[in-house]
Structure 1
Amino acid sequence: MQMNRRNFLMAAAAGFGAAALGGLPALAGGGRGLDRIGLQLYTLRSLMEKDVAKTLAFVAELGYREVEFAGYFDHTPAEIKAMLASEGLTAPSTHVSMTHLNEHIDAVIETALTVGHRYVVMPWLAPEERGGADVYRTYAEQLNRAGEACRKAGLTLAYHNHAFEFEAVDGIEPYDILMGETDPELLKIQLDLYWTTKAGRDPLDYFARYPGRFVSCHVKDMRADGEMTEVGSGTINFSRIFAASEKAGIRHYFVEHDEPADAAASVRASVEYLKKLRF
């Protein structure tokens, strides 16, 4: 990404305190569809930087019903809550850096409760924050601690993956450390379907291993060459994955594209595809 996600979260969060492998995309399937399609607003960060209210209005006009934040762009939590209400949107989830979870957990919780979030998601560990197995065991301890604080406040903490968690360190994959050494009652999972697939893993395998632990997912597609693309224009079989949502525990589906050529066109194309998807 052009902008380090951790730095983006730190800079934008001024409001604190004040396929599946293979397969082709399919519209055919069962009779169910998504009743609430969400959007991770990081995709529209260039628009959010200019005007949050207009961006949220645009998102609602496209047919999204939920959004997930990655910073509030100098707006207070109360202002964000009012903007959401004016557009008929809800924001069940927000992304918060590990630094904020460790150093500002009270402010994180206060902000989440004010805006109306139910989930606080740790989205990214920068390369310099990664290390050997013991580093991830330390993160597991920290996530358990933050998860307990969130639970006491009526919130749920979750972890969002990329591909690096599936690359073994000291003979073990960090993802297995994080899953095995965190309390399932204190830490849930937001599975990124693109990065999981990019890493050569099948989301359904993890749904089977950890049923009920996945509260949301990032809906991102992958081209045949492995690059990210708009939902429905790549190779991930979303019908197959979404059909297992109940087993996985997934309640929310957030479209995202990390580096779209045209952010507005990207989120429009993705939501139009998902409106028609059946599984």
Structure 2
Amino acid sequence: MEIAYQLYTSRKALPLTGQFPFLKSIGYDHIEVWPGAYKEDPKGFRRALDEAGLDAPSVFIADPGEADDLQEWIAAAQILGGKTIVRPGLAPANRPAEADGWKRLAERLSKEAEIARAAGLNFAWHNHDFEFQPLADGSRPIDLIVGHSDPLVRLELDCGWVFQAGGDIETELKRFADRIIAIHAKDAAPLGTVEEDGWLAHGDGVIDWVALLPAIEASNAKLAVVEHDEPADWEYVAKRSYESLAQLFGGR
């Protein structure tokens, strides 16, 4: 299992590219990027990655909106040397209230996955908590997305958001094992914690990662991504999380 750092974690510590030597010194070889990091200058961002000895195998693109914007995001991801592009979610105002809306989203994602494959890229959906919360008819958005999309639509399962949704991470890892291409190894404080939005560095939280390890390794996940949405100390989060995950995966 490869370990990556989601640069969104330290988005408030500018310049972003100035973080690269520190991340490399900790042990990271891979980062995951979100559009705000690279969209203004993908070529310059790629140069900074290369100079630091880092790569970006997983590239977040924009949420799916009304615009047919996939080709421009594919072009940027190719400049960055990405292997997988990831649609990261939906803003609250854009989340369907009924199952049919999620089925339509699944159809769109299937078409986008085909386009991505033709460009030599994997395509994935990244979850938050809302996909695991039942709609009025009892169906769950995550099941509708997976059940009504082509298997080319992979999942980057954010384990921390599954926890905050009140779900069972192991169950979801097993349920979607074949579709999972990566995980967000996002650790959490006890439910209801408000400090740092309830997130902690990997290894400092209440999620039992050792117990989850067999299910993680039985899935098709190849990448474990460190993320914390609101860290008080991003450098601590980056270092502690890398060390914890390296130990979990046997030094890899």
Please state whether the residue corresponding to 1:275 is helix, strand or coil: helix
The one of 239, 242, 248 equivalent to 1:271 is 242
Structure 1: distance between partners of 2:17 and 2:128: 29
Match of 1:236 in 2: 207
Instruction: Structure 1: state its 5+ residue gaps.
Output: 1-33
Q: Which moved more, 1:149-158 or 1:129-138?
A: 129-138
Q: Which moved more, 1:114-123 or 1:54-63?
A: 54-63
The one of 181, 184, 187 equivalent to 1:221 is 187
- Structure 1 residue 81 corresponds to structure 2 residue 76: no
- Structure 1 residue 173 corresponds to structure 2 residue 137: no
Please state whether the residue corresponding to 2:128 is helix, strand or coil: coil
Q: In 2, are the aligned partners of 1:136 and 1:177 still within 8 Å (CA)?
A: yes
Structure 2: distance between partners of 1:80 and 1:278: 29
Q: Which has the higher contact order (CA 8 A, sep 6+)?
A: 1
Q: State the one-letter code of the partner of 2:126.
A: H
Match of 2:195 in 1: none
Instruction: Structure 2: state its 5+ residue gaps.
Output: 193-197
Q: In 1, are the aligned partners of 2:131 and 2:140 still within 8 Å (CA)?
A: yes
The one of 19, 34, 55 equivalent to 1:70 is 34
Match of 1:262 in 2: 233
Q: In 2, are the aligned partners of 1:52 and 1:73 still within 8 Å (CA)?
A: no
Deviations 1:5-36 (A, max 9, x none): xxxxxxxxxxxxxxxxxxxxxxxxxxxxx5x3
TM-score between both structures, scaled by the size of structure 2: 0.89
Structure 2: distance between partners of 1:170 and 1:180: 18
Structure 2: distance between partners of 1:217 and 1:102: 28
User: In 2 relative to 1, CA 116–278 (structure 1 residues): closer, same or farther, beyond 3 Å?
Assistant: closer
Match of 1:25 in 2: none
Q: Which moved more, 1:224-233 or 1:117-126?
A: 224-233
TM-score between both structures, scaled by the size of structure 1: 0.81
Q: In 2, are the aligned partners of 1:102 and 1:146 still within 8 Å (CA)?
A: no
Equivalences for 1:1-279 in 2 at 5 Å? 34=1, 36-47=2-13, 50-71=14-35, 72-73=37-38, 75-99=40-64, 102-131=67-96, 132-171=98-137, 172-184=139-151, 186-226=152-192, 227-278=198-249
CA deviation after TM superposition for structure 1 residue 162, in Å: 0.8
Structure 1: distance between partners of 2:215 and 2:239: 25
CA deviation after TM superposition for structure 1 residue 56, in Å: 1.6
Q: In 2, are the aligned partners of 1:165 and 1:173 still within 8 Å (CA)?
A: yes
CA deviation after TM superposition for structure 1 residue 100, in Å: 6.3
Q: In 1, are the aligned partners of 2:38 and 2:45 still within 8 Å (CA)?
A: no
CA deviation after TM superposition for structure 1 residue 245, in Å: 3.0
Deviations 1:170-207 (A, max 9, x none): 311111100100111x2000000111122222232233
Q: In 2, are the aligned partners of 1:102 and 1:142 still within 8 Å (CA)?
A: no
Structure 1: distance between partners of 2:249 and 2:222: 16
User: In 2 relative to 1, CA 136–204 (structure 1 residues): closer, same or farther, beyond 3 Å?
Assistant: same
Please state whether the residue corresponding to 1:212 is helix, strand or coil: coil
Please state whether the residue corresponding to 1:170 is helix, strand or coil: coil
CA deviation after TM superposition for structure 1 residue 166, in Å: 1.2
Identical pairs, percent: 32
Q: Which moved more, 1:58-67 or 1:144-153?
A: 58-67
Q: State the one-letter code of the partner of 1:129.
A: N
Q: State the one-letter code of the partner of 1:66.
A: H
For the aligned residue pairs, the C-alpha RMSD in angstroms reads 1.9
Q: In 2, are the aligned partners of 1:144 and 1:182 still within 8 Å (CA)?
A: yes
Q: In 2, are the aligned partners of 1:217 and 1:254 still within 8 Å (CA)?
A: yes
CA deviation after TM superposition for structure 1 residue 224, in Å: 2.2
Q: In 2, are the aligned partners of 1:239 and 1:278 still within 8 Å (CA)?
A: no
Structure 1: distance between partners of 2:141 and 2:243: 35
Deviations 1:21-61 (A, max 9, x none): xxxxxxxxxxxxx5x321110001012xx223211222112
Structure 2: distance between partners of 1:225 and 1:98: 27
CA deviation after TM superposition for structure 1 residue 101, in Å: 8.9
